[in-house]
Amino acid sequence: MRTGIFPGSFDPLTFGHLDIIRRSKNICDKLIIAIAKNSEKNSLFSLQERLEMINTCCHDISSFLDVVFFDTLVVDYCKSNGVNVIIRGIRSVSDYEYEKTIADLNRKLAPDIETVFLLAGNEISFISSHVVKEAANYHGDISALVPQFVSDKIRQKFRQI
Amino acid sequence: MRTGIFPGSFDPLTFGHLDIIRRSKNICDKLIIAIAKNSEKNSLFSLQERLEMINTCCHDISSFLDVVFFDTLVVDYCKSNGVNVIIRGIRSVSDYEYEKTIADLNRKLAPDIETVFLLAGNEISFISSHVVKEAANYHGDISALVPQFVSDKIRQKFRQI
Amino acid sequence: MRTGIFPGSFDPLTFGHLDIIRRSKNICDKLIIAIAKNSEKNSLFSLQERLEMINTCCHDISSFLDVVFFDTLVVDYCKSNGVNVIIRGIRSVSDYEYEKTIADLNRKLAPDIETVFLLAGNEISFISSHVVKEAANYHGDISALVPQFVSDKIRQKFRQI
Amino acid sequence: MRTGIFPGSFDPLTFGHLDIIRRSKNICDKLIIAIAKNSEKNSLFSLQERLEMINTCCHDISSFLDVVFFDTLVVDYCKSNGVNVIIRGIRSVSDYEYEKTIADLNRKLAPDIETVFLLAGNEISFISSHVVKEAANYHGDISALVPQFVSDKIRQKFRQI
Amino acid sequence: MRTGIFPGSFDPLTFGHLDIIRRSKNICDKLIIAIAKNSEKNSLFSLQERLEMINTCCHDISSFLDVVFFDTLVVDYCKSNGVNVIIRGIRSVSDYEYEKTIADLNRKLAPDIETVFLLAGNEISFISSHVVKEAANYHGDISALVPQFVSDKIRQKFRQI
Amino acid sequence: MRTGIFPGSFDPLTFGHLDIIRRSKNICDKLIIAIAKNSEKNSLFSLQERLEMINTCCHDISSFLDVVFFDTLVVDYCKSNGVNVIIRGIRSVSDYEYEKTIADLNRKLAPDIETVFLLAGNEISFISSHVVKEAANYHGDISALVPQFVSDKIRQKFRQI
């Protein structure tokens, strides 16, 4: 059985993340979605809220997924958990350059762990958690950027602030 | 069983290709190396010579590989042969931009076929079939760029020309 | 009245060109679509065929358009015809770099003529005349890349070859 | 009458901004220069100081300009004010990538509003408000980067700090 | 005698810096390594600690080097000290774009001072002080990124925090 | 004495080349301008004509220069002639990517030979031999792109064709 890991902040989950998650079924039999604990500071949503978003929006493929938190280098998490494929999305040239740096470092630290890239679908390549938060901050319509469940949570959050 | 396809010209096979081929074992159980027939014109090596290079240099993983020729769009070959993962390597920003165009086109033509990318190892990211032929053309030492079997064939070829 | 010029080869007209043409209505009152005569050599379609494609596919906005041939530097055509806005589309970083070189040259040669850029819609940014011809050459489905009238012409052309 | 909007922080106004403002006369009959209110925090100059800079340095084209503050998404400001052309400058590949993301988002939110790009003149493409502040912070000569009125204001500001 | 200057933060010194320092012998007879004082805030290591790292790890080429602190624009330091070659490394496209901006600014401010670039060796082009600190923060193995002396200092530092 | 080599086609010599040549005085005491013999095919000017252009336009710094032809890999020419610094200009991201590939290859073939890069001055970064020939082909004004001596030769050449 091939297990892959998709690490990130997911603050919040977007249609971009969902695209990568669903397309990962072509690469592995099980996908670990790993939420970085260190992204807690300065985050909009708590770790638990982000976990809930993923579980709710992916309930139809729940047997394919494990959602976890992690607090180490991704490659060290992989070694400890017998995972050898990291999955990442690329949306732009600057994403490519950033991901290349991390992939080169990871290969140096753990040559047996492979990083595999999917290119974001072109219709959604402009979506990022950052763009979602910026748009929401100015009361923009974010229904094309995130699932309904997430946009409801964002609206609640900005009402509180 | 997951089957992937690695399409290209392989004129000639380089250490860059071999890196992608071997790392593909993390993604699929069987890899079809598909040599584009249309690359015959203006090529240095015949289709048969390129097939021989791959078979010789990959004999230790021969059960993982199928080497074929193809003469259609890659996605049409995939549909006819039940393959749904295309594997491609990226060495640079310009590679990324070229591959993104092709991947976007392919998704439009065949949404169920996924293109998966590996980033070239940084020590060999400068290697391409084109660079090999240029270096050989000026009698440069290409032993760090291609396997011994290939460099012997290239030397013979340039002696004939 | 503001007049703009959209120079190119249009060999053949694609949905990418049509996107730029229609969006140009936000910038100018009249658009000159200028087909480069020098693109005749090695072209798939004759100048007349390309003119016909544009006229047919844009008949609903024919009062907005003038379709012409030109045989000089674009800025010299602009000077002779009292045009001072060149409109160009950008699909990618490599497009950006190419267009920047030309725009810098044009500003040096004719500081009063402005080049204005529209970014290709993300759903169609992978489309180019080159990609269309490549796909058609391998009998791929090009109905998502060009208007029906153009795809019929391409099919005829490839049947002849 | 065509009205365009040039949104930004203008903290401070540079020769780069002035280049875009003056060249916009080729695209529209009226230009709204819109200063983002949210850029107040961490800014060097107050909103009023920035407004004054623009009015002073552009007094010769004052009939072409409206200088305003805004506090929403740019596209929402456009809808409320009947503007349908956003004008932005691009200086580099990273600018291009950033602007593409915003333009894609804006097209999703408001398909009728067009974003039009001018490429920075090559002699001044290195100028940004950030570079100006960095240079001034180290007592560098900024007379080639901003108008005299602005450089006087910056000198006063750094004397106060 | 040709004197060059290599300005930076060196927080901490990496194998990337050492590569540039040693290769600079092909360009100049004396190299001034200039540590930016303003990088003190938010730095991991004090200016003195960084000076010590460089002196220790480069003791075999100490006659080639001068290690100094500086607190002005680099070009102003150059003018005051009779240096006319700035040496910088480039690892990526985004490095290139950043360095181009600074080099263009410097040429404007001081046309007689030349900036010369070396491209990072491909095996180490992913190394940066930032990546080192990130990896160390997660207890990753950094022995391939920095000299032994530096990795010992980092380990001590993170133990203290 | 430091000797550098500036290899290229120089078909024809442009203000871009002259900028690199003059700025090279900051890096070396002697500069070998090496014209690639293989660029003869499909060239506009003969090797002798290009040599004459360089000698004429650089006669004021003739003691700094040696103009030669070469017919091997640049690094092999360097080894045979005791040169260990290759000088190249970079005008754009695509130049950077191309030059990086060649520099990585050269370091593999000859680790002791260093490639040093100057970034093209921003006012002239759009100039290339290719752009000059394109502009001349359409009877454009090239006086801002090449020295008078070269533009006279180009005019003669295009009159002959």
pLDDT digits (tens, 9 = 90+) for F64-88: 999 999 999 999 999 999 999 999 9
E91 tagged catalytic: yes
Q: Could you list the active site residues of B?
A: 17, 41, 91, 129
Structural domains counted in chain E: 1
pLDDT at C17 exceeding the cut of 80: yes
Q: How far is CA E3 from CA D106, E35, E117, F64, in A?
A: 51, 16, 15, 20
Pick from E101, E106, E107 the residue to mutate for testing the D interface (most D CBs within 10 Å). E101
Q: For Cα atoms E99, E92, F85, give the angle at the middle one, nearest 5 degrees.
A: 75
Q: State the pLDDT at residue C159.
A: 80
* Among F127, F108, F111, F109, CA closest to F20: F127
Q: How confident is the model at residue B42 (pLDDT cuts 50, 70, 90)?
A: confident
Q: State the pLDDT at residue A40.
A: 66
Per the CB < 8 A criterion, the answer to whether E83 and E5 are in contact is: yes
What average pLDDT score do residues D57-62 get?
97
3-class state of residue F67 by DSSP: strand
State the Cα–Cα distance between residues F11 and E149, nearest whole angstrom.
Answer: 51
pLDDT at C99 exceeding the cut of 70: yes
Whether D114 sits inside 8 A of C23 (CB atoms) is: yes
pLDDT at B115 exceeding the cut of 80: yes
Q: State the pLDDT at residue C40.
A: 67
pLDDT at B82 exceeding the cut of 90: yes
Whether B117 sits inside 8 A of A115 (CB atoms) is: no
pLDDT at B40 exceeding the cut of 70: no
Q: What is the DSSP letter of D161?
A: -
Helical spans, DSSP H, in E33-145: 47-57, 74-81, 93-109, 129-137
Q: How confident is the model at residue E41 (pLDDT cuts 50, 70, 90)?
A: confident
Whether F100 sits inside 8 A of E119 (CB atoms) is: yes
CATH assignment at residue C134: 3.40.50.620
Residue-number span of the structural domain to which B156 is assigned? 3-160
Q: Shortest CB distance from C126 goes to which of B72, B94, B101?
A: B101
pLDDT at F40 exceeding the cut of 70: no
Whether C109 sits inside 8 A of F135 (CB atoms) is: yes
Shortest Cα–Cα distance, E113 to chain F (Å)? 9
E41 tagged catalytic: yes
- What is the crossing angle of helices A93-109 and D93-109, to 10°? 120
What average pLDDT score do residues A61-67 get?
98
Q: How confident is the model at residue D159 (pLDDT cuts 50, 70, 90)?
A: confident
Q: Which long-range contacts (CB under 8 A, 24 or more apart) does B58-61 make?
A: B58/B18, B58/B21, B61/B21, B61/B22, B61/B25
F 96-115: CB under 8 A from E: 96-97, 99-100, 103-104, 107, 114-115
Q: State the pLDDT at residue D40.
A: 66
* Among E133, E156, E150, CA closest to E18: E150
Q: Scanning every residue of chain A, which has its alpha carbon at the shortest distance from the alpha carbon of D109?
A: A141
Per the CB < 8 A criterion, the answer to whether B5 and B86 are in contact is: yes
Q: Shortest CB distance from D141 goes to which of E93, E100, E109?
A: E109
pLDDT at A72 exceeding the cut of 70: yes
Q: For this complex, say whether ipTM is above 0.90.
A: yes
State the Cα–Cα distance between residues F119 and D135, nearest whole angstrom.
Answer: 21
Size of interface C-F (CB pairs under 8 A): 35
What average pLDDT score do residues D69-94 get?
97
Q: State the pLDDT at residue E113.
A: 97
Q: State the pLDDT at residue D42.
A: 85
Q: How far is CA C6 from CA B68, C28, C39, C97, D66, in A?
A: 44, 11, 15, 18, 30
pLDDT at D55 exceeding the cut of 90: yes
State the Cα–Cα distance between residues A44 and A13, nearest whole angstrom.
Answer: 11
pLDDT at D25 exceeding the cut of 90: yes
* Among B98, B137, B92, CA closest to B115: B98
Q: What is the mean pLDDT of chain E?
A: 95
Pairing between β-strand A114-119 and β-strand A85-90 as defined by DSSP bridges: parallel
Model pTM?
0.95
Q: How confident is the model at residue D80 (pLDDT cuts 50, 70, 90)?
A: very high
Q: How confident is the model at residue A4 (pLDDT cuts 50, 70, 90)?
A: very high
Residues linked to residue F117 through DSSP beta bridges, in sequence order? E117, F88
Shortest Cα–Cα distance, B130 to chain A (Å)? 23
Q: Scanning every residue of chain F, which has its alpha carbon at the shortest distance from the alpha carbon of D123?
A: F123
Interchain contact D125–E (C-beta under 8 A): yes
Instruction: Count Cβ atoms below 10 Å from residue B64 Cβ, excluding itself.
Output: 15
State the Cα–Cα distance between residues C114 and B56, nearest whole angstrom.
Answer: 58
Interchain contact B125–E (C-beta under 8 A): yes
pLDDT at B161 exceeding the cut of 80: no
What average pLDDT score do residues E57-73 get?
97
Q: How confident is the model at residue B158 (pLDDT cuts 50, 70, 90)?
A: confident
Contact partners for chain E, using 3 or more CB pairs closer than 8 A, are A, B, D, F
List the beta strands (DSSP E) in A10-159.
Answer: 30-36, 65-70, 85-90, 114-119
Per the CB < 8 A criterion, the answer to whether A44 and A11 are in contact is: yes
**How far is C-alpha E80 from the geometric centre of its chain's CA atoms?**
20
* Among D105, D106, D157, D129, CA closest to D9: D129
Q: Scanning every residue of chain A, which has its alpha carbon at the shortest distance from the alpha carbon of C126?
A: A122
Pick from C26, C102, C107 the residue to mutate for testing the D interface (most D CBs within 10 Å). C26
Q: State the pLDDT at residue C105.
A: 96
Q: Shortest CB distance from E94 goes to which of D94, D135, D138?
A: D94
User: Locate tokens 């010789």: which residue?
Assistant: B56
* Among E83, E69, E65, E80, CA closest to E25: E65
Of B87-91, D39-43, E65-69, the one with minimum mean pLDDT is D39-43
Contacts with D26 from chain C: Cβ below 8 Å: 2, 84-85, 114, 116
Shortest Cα–Cα distance, E101 to chain D (Å)? 5
Q: State the pLDDT at residue B52.
A: 98
State the Cα–Cα distance between residues A63 and A81, nearest whole angstrom.
Answer: 18
List the beta strands (DSSP E) in chain A.
Answer: 3-8, 30-36, 65-70, 85-90, 114-119
Q: What is the mean pLDDT of chain C?
A: 95
A17 tagged catalytic: yes
Residues linked to residue E35 through DSSP beta bridges, in sequence order? E8, E69
Q: Scanning every residue of chain F, which has its alpha carbon at the shortest distance from the alpha carbon of D124?
A: F122
